[in-house]
Amino acid sequence: MKLLVLVLLACIILTLFWGLNGLLRAEPGSQRVVRSLTLRVGLSIGLFCLLILGALFGWWRPHHL
């Protein structure tokens, strides 16, 4: 499960740089930055849901302060 979280984080960072590259090389009418942002937001929401579900189902426990 930890590996899945790390892979999702790596994908989020990768799409961040993919969007930066698209922004720097933007062609008129290009949707590359919008697609990158959409994918990054979707991955972030998916990761958040995975963390919440993991805590609810007991796949891992949050640290107590």
The per-residue pLDDT for 25 is: 86
Backbone CA torsion sign across 34, 39, 40, 44: positive
How many H helices and E strands in the chain? 2, 0
Asked if residue 20 belongs to a domain, the reply is: yes
Residue-range definition of the domain harbouring residue 51: 2-57
The per-residue pLDDT for 38 is: 93
Asked if residue 49 belongs to a domain, the reply is: yes
**pLDDT tens readout for residues 9-53:** 999 999 999 988 888 887 777 788 889 899 999 999 999 999 999
The per-residue pLDDT for 44 is: 96
CA 49 → CA 22, 30, 40, 56, 59, distances in Å? 28, 31, 14, 10, 13
Number of domains comprising the chain: 1
The per-residue pLDDT for 65 is: 56
Q: Please, what is the end-to-end C-alpha distance for the chain in angstroms?
A: 23
Q: Which residue matches tokens 């009418």?
A: 29
